[in-house]
């Protein structure tokens, strides 16, 4: 199955599919959602014009995902956003950035932050390729809910719709998260921890997780094996 066929098969039908014209508003939701995120606060600490730089950074995966996978909202109110790509597109290539229109925003991020991002994420990119080698899967590039809307079930609706799309397409979903609370949330929705690691430079933990097609929260809990831990 080619990446294009993966994109056609995987369709979260209960969500509002977004277009390019929606991405600025979607980016604003994600910027708000990640206001207190420890990873992004560490990466963008002391960055001049931080707000502008972070806005450009958020647009990068949105544009890339729109081109190769999909970007969806919980509803037309855009209170929660999720974006995904076929697993083969999980690592954004130079050509992929150019073709998707994400190259410009990535350049606005700057070489300093770009170098930090490469150092931070290289270990989990390698781990993802190792865990999912030889498999077709969907990679969740980004997900977030506006702070005022958190705790109202929007994140759960986003992820349940993604799980239903996984079940229909028979494709597993892979993601990474940097907080233990988020890891527990994903486990309750059928994901299991494949590996934990400490991210270099920022010295923060990360949980690498996957949900198999057809998984339920109960079955994920019963079959969970002890995760491996890597300190990069």
Q: How confident is residue 106, by pLDDT bands cut at 50, 70 and 90?
A: very high
Q: What is the pLDDT of residue 13?
A: 81
**Does the pLDDT value for residue 231 go beyond 60?**
no
Report, as an integer, the average pLDDT of 178-204: 94
Exposure string over 4-17, b if 16+ CB within 10 A, otherwise e = eebbebbbbeebbe
Exposure string over 68-107, b if 16+ CB within 10 A, otherwise e = bbbbbbbeeebbbbbbbbbbebbebeeebbeebbbbebbe
Domains of the chain plus CATH, in order, are 3-231 (3.40.630.30)
Q: What is the pLDDT of residue 47?
A: 85
Summarised one tens digit per residue, pLDDT across range 158-177 is: 999 999 999 999 999 999 99
Compute the distance between CA of residue 79 and CA of residue 77 in angstroms, rounded to an integer: 6
**Does the pLDDT value for residue 10 go beyond 70?**
yes
Q: How confident is residue 7, by pLDDT bands cut at 50, 70 and 90?
A: low
**Does the pLDDT value for residue 219 go beyond 70?**
no
Q: How confident is residue 224, by pLDDT bands cut at 50, 70 and 90?
A: very low
Q: What percent of the chain has pLDDT over 70?
A: 90
Q: 138 pairs with which residues across the strands?
A: 86, 173
Q: What is the pLDDT of residue 6?
A: 56
Q: What is the pLDDT of residue 8?
A: 64
**Does the pLDDT value for residue 230 go beyond 60?**
no
Compute the distance between CA of residue 108 and CA of residue 125 in angstroms, rounded to an integer: 23
**Does the pLDDT value for residue 137 go beyond 60?**
yes
Compute the distance between CA of residue 12 and CA of residue 140 in angstroms, rounded to an integer: 12
Strand 80-86 relative to strand 204-211: parallel, antiparallel, unpaired?
unpaired
């Amino acid at each position: 199955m080619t990446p294009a066929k993966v994109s056609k098969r995987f369709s979260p039908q209960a969500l509002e599919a977004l277009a390019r014209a929606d991405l600025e508003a979607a980016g604003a939701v994600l910027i708000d959602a990640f206001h207190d995120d420890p990873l992004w606060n560490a990466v963008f600490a002391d960055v001049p014009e931080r707000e502008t730089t972070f806005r450009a950074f958020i647009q990068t995966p949105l544009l890339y995902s729109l081109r190769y996978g999909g970007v969806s909202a919980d509803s037309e109110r855009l209170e929660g956003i999720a974006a995904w790509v076929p697993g083969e597109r999980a690592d954004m290539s130079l050509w992929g950035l150019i073709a998707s229109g994400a190259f410009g925003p990535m350049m606005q991020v700057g070489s300093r932050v770009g170098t930090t991002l490469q150092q931070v994420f290289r270990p989990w990119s390698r781990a993802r390729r190792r865990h999912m080698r030889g498999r077709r899967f969907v990679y969740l590039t980004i997900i977030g809910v506006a702070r005022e809307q958190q705790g109202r079930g929007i994140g759960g609706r986003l992820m349940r719709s993604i799980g239903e799309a996984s079940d229909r397409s028979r494709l597993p979903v892979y993601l990474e998260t940097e907080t233990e609370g988020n890891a527990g949330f994903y486990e309750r929705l059928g994901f299991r921890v494949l590996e934990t690691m400490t991210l270099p430079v920022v010295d923060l933990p990360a949980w690498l997780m996957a949900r198999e097609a057809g998984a339920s929260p109960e079955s994920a809990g019963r079959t969970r094996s002890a995760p491996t831990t890597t300190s990069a």
